[in-house]
Amino acid sequence: MTTLRVALIQQDTVWQDPAANLAKARGFVAQAARAGARVAVFPELFTLGFTMAPEPFAEPLPGPTTEAVAALSREFGLYLVGSVVEAHAPHPRNAAFVTGPDGALLAPYRKIHPFSYGEEHRHYSGGEDCPLFQVDGNPCGLQICYDLRFPEPFRALAAQGAEVVFVPANWPARRIAAWSTLLAARAIENQMAVCGANRVGQDALGLDYPGASALCDAFGEVVAQGDATEGLVVGDIDLVALRAWRARFPALRDRRVEVYSALERKKI
């Protein structure tokens, strides 16, 4: 595969209504298939919105939501990235997952950094791993929304060989400049493609979401970017150019992990 076509789904999520959002999902996936996408990415907690009352919606993983998304993957022959409130103690987890064209559930990811500014940490437990999965043999990873502010998990994925990272999000309008900047930064510093899918509309808490979903290539250049309209943002990731850039300019080899570790141990 020389290019990977990705569709980012800018959904106006119906607040805490899984049935309504799953009904909308099929239409988005059908559009992505018609556009020739190989992967389609939903926003964070796409069946609910960014709820701070997760317990009534918690489910096992695999569970009803992953099964519904897997059925869409099989129907349309696509890789799909979704997310769900995963049952867990002491709190549920904000989890992303990928289903393959055959309906298989690929490596799930649990959001490492609950958004403490919005008190997510009081309602969700954080995850502790960054698994890789394959899209047609190409190594990929997942992060979720607020994780974008932390370079370490992206670097860990790059060290494992990840070429593309998908980031489902509910990123509000008031901080959208940070969203666009951080997507490009994570791509540049890791020489990877970073694809962020953000919701549109307004949630029940009054927060506005402006979309601005974007695909950034390994140079940090924006391949495709959305506005505040509900629908798809579709773009092609040039995997050949990504690999050639890593080979020609192997910046990650110059990392000095032992120095960073010593600096982190210093008291400020």
24, 86, 130, 145: the active-site residue: 145
Q: Tell how strand 214-216 and strand 208-210 pair up.
A: unpaired
Examine the residue annotation and report whether 145 is marked as an active-site residue of this protein.
yes
Answer yes or no: are the C-beta atoms of 106 and 98 closer than 8 Å.
yes
111, 120, 163, 216: the active-site residue: 111
Buried b / exposed e across 101-120, counting CB within 10 Å, b at 16+? Answer: bebebbbbbbbbbbbeebeb
Beta-bridge mates of residue 5? 236
Radius of gyration of the chain (CA): 18
> What is the distance in angstroms between the CA of the first residue and the CA of the last residue of the chain?
48
Q: Write the burial class of residue 121 (CB in 10 Å: 0-12 exposed, 13-18 middle, 19+ buried).
A: middle
Examine the residue annotation and report whether 44 is marked as an active-site residue of this protein.
yes
Beta-bridge mates of residue 237? 4
Q: What single-letter amino acid sits at 18?
A: P
44, 86, 120, 163: the active-site residue: 44
Q: Name the residues annotated as catalytic.
A: 44, 111, 145
